[in-house]
Chains A and B, each alone.
Chain A
């Protein structure tokens, strides 16, 4: 299709230089349509505007995301894991709890399955020129279930509460070094500014569903969330029984389109197998999160639909860089070269994963430099590297890891593969509490082991993966990797507002990490949700959230 420069020029007149640079990238072919939509949404461009720009740039109309509306009035029954602790927006950190909270409370914006940010309680957002101040415009007429209208002071209080170190907030892992207490400021009743500690090109993701603690609740909240479950969401709490389940009813005062289901019911399960049996037996309609190995029976079940989301979730295999034979980067590269990623994806993950290239840059990220060559199994080269490093005869060490998802099987495959290059690996597979310990150096099998495998959940942007496990002072740096060049590149990537600048830095980081290999990223696994045949309109996210307002049953 031809480009309509007249319309493009009209659109460009009211846009910032940063937005126009992105538009130029699309027009010149430097930025793909998919990356343009993702990054445009991050900069606060609305989806209709992104669609108009795409059409003017000759890409045709955007594919419609609208689905045929199902029948209203259903009761949707969900199986999920048991909330591990009291549900509180400040402290919640587990999939079962955040799923319940997300049914009633909402975010400023939603990170969709395509990693495109969509407005929710915020209608729009924009950065200043260097990305150090972000301004969010709030939606008007949004009511809490308790009756009051959501305004700027509620947003400021909700986010400030999470950024306050005194609250032991779980969101501090996201906000530390980025947003401090008192840096969220009310401009007027419907405008909030966030003054960041340092420029950050991906900040809206940190106020989106990607940061599952960042729900907006009344400024008057004093704790004990399970008593009120107050929020602005399309469903209101009906009943919550700890360790057993929860039910919700449609919120008829919802600001947006009213939810299709009349009710939703959540049943908590301690294990995945009873959930599978409950789905097959018709006791539940949805399994929110289904691990591929445990749920392999459902993958080909004709009575079950599998919703598969590409994600950045992965298992990090860390290699200690400060001690023993793995101090030599050649040994770390040799270990990485012994791993057969194609078999991991096709065999272990049944095709529900994408191969990793030993950096956090998963294929789902628009900033990932796809031109960096994919690392593949090469035993001959691995043996050469071992010889060159003076450990050609091999050595013995222990791989310590957690009993979670497919990790024990992954560990056994690694054990067999590294045997081919002379490394004799003992396995020490622990339950999760023993593995993580106190999660601080010196008191954690995870952070102190010479080699370990750790599960990392999905993130809409790679910032957390780039900082905590890889930066010299990273709090989760189990590899004990200290590299000044890397630190500078990571800081530069996180600050970059422009997609092309992010891509250029990402490429450098990818190459540096391939050379150094402090962590092996073998694969990025898909987030799977199983639904009974006839259930439609279910929208999961790879962060364990489940949006049910458009769900229906045949």
Chain B
């Protein structure tokens, strides 16, 4: 190894590693911090919400159903008299379980596929890429509905469906990054050392394509939140009496025409705020990586 090589690969005294650099860049990013604060708020609500809600989010009070917002019920009550504020606070739990797990599944599957197609190229790449493109041409909701009809309604089904639906998108991003990386010398060096393809893909190349994967994952998380809310709205996946936001909107949207706006508005705002929070985090990470 030459002296020049040594200077590029060894960290000079006083300089931070790339992840530490990223961390400090994020800490300086107002966009990231704002988004992170929003997401953190909903995560805390998901984990500990029931300890600071004024009412049991599942307790009915049918005689006081559809009461408008008041000092007693800040966000009013729903069709069977449950406190909407308490339900909105706790309602992040399902979406913050299902959406991240679905995104994680998509990331793992998509990364593996992207590494495979990008590394091997040729006929394997052509076949897998065409299959993935065909899969991506079908709307997620249609795929989800078909899968749920076939597999039955459950959170696990929703996680698998959304995860596998998003995997091709992540695979395409990873493939692009791998195509560039595989031409670099360190890959050729690994091949000269007779490292296995698995080792080269996952030990040599993968660490160098983490940044685009990170960005794509956070983008997908935002879409996954929407997808989970959409499926809940359509009545698939999460079951009553869960205070899940999409499910609550689905159960109550028919009441808007009657003037009972509070049964829907706050859940919709909660979904919007979480998606905005995730998007701000994504923008922050992207900005930090570009810096």
Residue of B nearest to A276 (CB): B257
Q: Is the beta-carbon distance between A294 and B240 smaller than 8 angstroms?
A: no
Roughly how many angstroms separate A298 CA and B259 CA in the complex, as a whole number? 10
Total contacting residues, chain B, CB less than 8 A: 25
Q: Mark B237-260, 1 if CB is under 8 A from A, else 0.
A: 001110000000001011111111
Of B65, B239, B255, the residue contacting A347 (CB under 8 A) is B65
Q: Is the beta-carbon distance between A343 and B63 smaller than 8 angstroms?
A: yes
Please give, as numbers and ranges, the residues of chain A lying within 8 Å of B257 by CB-CB distance. Answer: 273, 276-277, 280, 297
The answer, yes or no, to whether A306 is at the interface (CB within 8 Å) is no
The answer, yes or no, to whether A71 is at the interface (CB within 8 Å) is no
Q: Mark B193-222, 1 if CB is under 8 A from A, else 0.
A: 000000000000000000000000000000
Min Cβ gap A423→B in Å is 15
Roughly how many angstroms separate A29 CA and B251 CA in the complex, as a whole number? 50
Q: Is the beta-carbon distance between A346 and B153 smaller than 8 angstroms?
A: no
Residue of B nearest to A412 (CB): B241
Of B80, B153, B235, B256, the residue contacting A409 (CB under 8 A) is B80
Of A297, A347, A403, A409, the residue contacting B63 (CB under 8 A) is A347
Min Cβ gap B152→A in Å is 9
Please give, as numbers and ranges, the residues of chain B lying within 8 Å of A347 by CB-CB distance. Answer: 62-63, 65, 80-81
Please give, as numbers and ranges, the residues of chain B lying within 8 Å of A403 by CB-CB distance. Answer: 235
- A412 with B259: in contact, given A347-B81, A428-B239 (CB under 8 Å)? no
Q: How large is the interface on A (under 10, 10 to 19, 20 to 34, 35 or more residues)?
A: 20 to 34
The answer, yes or no, to whether B58 is at the interface (CB within 8 Å) is yes
Min Cβ gap B34→A in Å is 36
Q: Is the beta-carbon distance between A431 and B80 smaller than 8 angstroms?
A: no
Q: Is the beta-carbon distance between A416 and B58 smaller than 8 angstroms?
A: yes
Within 8 A of B (CB), among A344-366: 344, 346-348
Please give, as numbers and ranges, the residues of chain B lying within 8 Å of A429 by CB-CB distance. Answer: 235, 239-240
The answer, yes or no, to whether B60 is at the interface (CB within 8 Å) is yes
Of B58, B66, B251, the residue contacting A296 (CB under 8 A) is B66
The answer, yes or no, to whether A50 is at the interface (CB within 8 Å) is no
- A346 with B63: in contact, given A408-B240, A409-B79 (CB under 8 Å)? yes
Roughly how many angstroms separate A123 CA and B33 CA in the complex, as a whole number? 82
Within 8 A of B (CB), among A276-297: 276-277, 280, 293-297
Min Cβ gap B255→A in Å is 7
Residue among B58, B149, B254, B260 with max Cβ neighbours from chain A (10 Å): B254
The answer, yes or no, to whether B59 is at the interface (CB within 8 Å) is yes
Residue of A nearest to B259 (CB): A297
Q: Mark A401-440, 1 if CB is under 8 A from B, else 0.
A: 0010000110111011000000000111111001000000
- A427 with B62: in contact, given A347-B81, A408-B251 (CB under 8 Å)? no
Residue of A nearest to B242 (CB): A427
Roughly how many angstroms separate A463 CA and B241 CA in the complex, as a whole number? 35
Q: Is the beta-carbon distance between A411 and B240 smaller than 8 angstroms?
A: yes
Query: Could you show 19 A-B contacts with beta carbons less than 8 Å apart?
Result: A273-B253, A273-B254, A276-B258, A277-B257, A280-B257, A296-B255, A298-B258, A343-B63, A347-B63, A347-B80, A347-B81, A348-B62, A348-B80, A403-B235, A412-B60, A412-B241, A416-B241, A429-B235, A429-B239
3 nearest A-B pairs in the assembled complex, by CB-CB distance: A297-B258, A347-B62, A412-B241
